Structure 1
Amino acid sequence: MTGRPLIGVSTYLEAGARWGVWELDAALLPAGYPRLVQRAGGLAAMLPPDAAQHAAATVARLDALVIAGGPDVEPGRYGASPDPRTGPPARERDAWELALIEAALAAHVPLLGICRGMQLLNVALGGTLVQHLDGHAEVMGVFGRHAVKPVPGTLYAGVVPEETSVPTYHHQSVDRLGTGLVPSAHAADGTVEAIELPSAEGWVLGVQWHPEMGEDLRVMRALVASARV
């Protein structure tokens, strides 16, 4: 491959977004995501929700895929009833991103799940989620930081071998792991902070934190490098 690889990033679809004199439905993505892709050597392409049947054709045009953070996954997707603290469903986005994940896995396209994206990767492979935990989103609307420790011998440990402090904001986490997934980093309280799929032919990693809110480019650089193979 020559030039910068094309990295698709899933987006929000929000009603009544405002800019200038306008208040319209909008496909939104915090600027940290494309900036992180660009700083790591990739070209960023926004992927707003679409019909699930178009996921395979979309993924076929990409060199790698990022499933971005966002709202809680609908609990019915993993056979659970909603906890009162679980946010409202984003069914269109759930369906689209699950289809993107399945297409990327089938086509061996490198895949990175960030926060919600990691949780959705787990759900796509038959796993479940803890619907509420304390200590990982201390102040509403403000990213915190905590340490994550890699599991030796994993893909993630090969990218980031030491314990690091990461930007974090989530109130849900992985519970039962999906088929084939293994934990590759933990927080001090035991929360699974990264998962990966060692049996996959492609590069597959999920991180519970938000690398787009920090300065450490190693995870995204590893995704971009895998897209160059």
Structure 2
Amino acid sequence: MTRRPLVGITCYVEQARWGVWDFRASLIPQAYVDAVTAAGGRALVLPPDTTDDAVLDVLDALIVAGGVDVDPARYGAEPHPSTDAPQPLRDAGELLLIQGAFARDLPLLGVCRGAQLMAVARGGTLIQDLPSGIHREVLGVFSSHPVRAEPGSGVARILGDAELKVNAHHHQAVDDPGALVVTAWAEDGTIEAVEDPTRTFAIGVQWHPEMLDDPRLFVALVDAASQARVL
């Protein structure tokens, strides 16, 4: 039997409750795992670890998940009053994996915070508090808004270059993409996707595709991982 592509998913570290227990936990919304499984992959949850990036040598693809704001010190900025308290271990661990994925040309998908970290890893900066409310209108509820993809980009090849309808729940976004290329925008000009066109698959999206009824980004990631294993 051919092994399914192994897709690592970085995870949150938060106080969590289940049954009678209330502990710090490494966790991820099940929607990420379901999306990878439905696309033909096998999900592996990756808690933060700053020792090395050797786990990438056994993975076929990497997803950097959403979560709390990136520490502004990572891109040389002072924190805005609205910026979350930093999580140094998660920032450091995910940046290590992102840099390692770029170096190995490992298929890489960044989601929300993950897209922002991809830009920071390539020398970019972030907007710490967006002036527009379309990206997070109600706490705990995804907003919906249109996105325009650059024709010919990776995002457009996967999702089409017609206007896309995406979900959102964020107050930060990429400002300067660094060495990455911007390939999608919201109607207010907010950067919605970044890519490294020199890599086989390196795409970051500001929305949450795992929560949409559209598997194409995950299918494309798993397909890229499958093809890389054959080569």
TM-score normalised per structure 1: 0.95
Secondary structure at the aligned position of 1:166 is classed as strand
1:133-161 Cα shifts (integer Å, max 9, x gaps): 13200001111111111101111110011
| 1:168 maps onto 2:168 in alignment | yes
Shift in Å, 1:40: 1.3
Distance across 2 between alignment mates of 1:155 and 1:24? 40
Q: What corresponds to 1:14 in structure 2?
A: 14
Q: What corresponds to 2:44 in structure 1?
A: 45
CA RMSD of aligned residues (A): 1.1
Shift in Å, 1:80: 0.2
| 1:69 maps onto 2:66 in alignment | yes
| 1:137 maps onto 2:136 in alignment | yes
Counterpart mapping for 1:86-97 below 5 A: 86-97=83-94
Gaps of 5+ in 1: none
Q: What corresponds to 1:147 in structure 2?
A: 146
Q: Matched residues, percent identical?
A: 52
Shift in Å, 1:167: 1.5
Amino acid corresponding to residue 54 of structure 1 in structure 2: D
Higher deviation after alignment, 191-200 or 58-67: 191-200
Match of 1:105 among 99, 102, 107: 102
Distance across 2 between alignment mates of 1:173 and 1:218? 23
Secondary structure at the aligned position of 2:97 is classed as helix
Secondary structure at the aligned position of 2:55 is classed as helix
| 1:185 maps onto 2:187 in alignment | no
TM-score normalised per structure 2: 0.94
Gaps of 5+ in 2: none
Q: What corresponds to 2:5 in structure 1?
A: 5
Match of 2:121 among 115, 120, 124: 124
Secondary structure at the aligned position of 1:228 is classed as helix
Secondary structure at the aligned position of 1:148 is classed as strand
Q: What corresponds to 1:204 in structure 2?
A: 202
Distance across 2 between alignment mates of 1:155 and 1:40? 18
Distance across 2 between alignment mates of 1:24 and 1:191? 37
Shift in Å, 1:24: 1.4
Shift in Å, 1:78: 0.1
Distance across 2 between alignment mates of 1:159 and 1:2? 25
Higher deviation after alignment, 78-87 or 162-171: 162-171
Secondary structure at the aligned position of 1:123 is classed as helix
Amino acid corresponding to residue 113 of structure 1 in structure 2: G
| Number of equivalences | 224
Q: What corresponds to 1:157 in structure 2?
A: 156
Secondary structure at the aligned position of 1:82 is classed as coil
Shift in Å, 1:22: 0.8
Distance across 2 between alignment mates of 1:107 and 1:174? 24
Amino acid corresponding to residue 98 of structure 2 in structure 1: I
Match of 1:81 among 78, 86, 98: 78
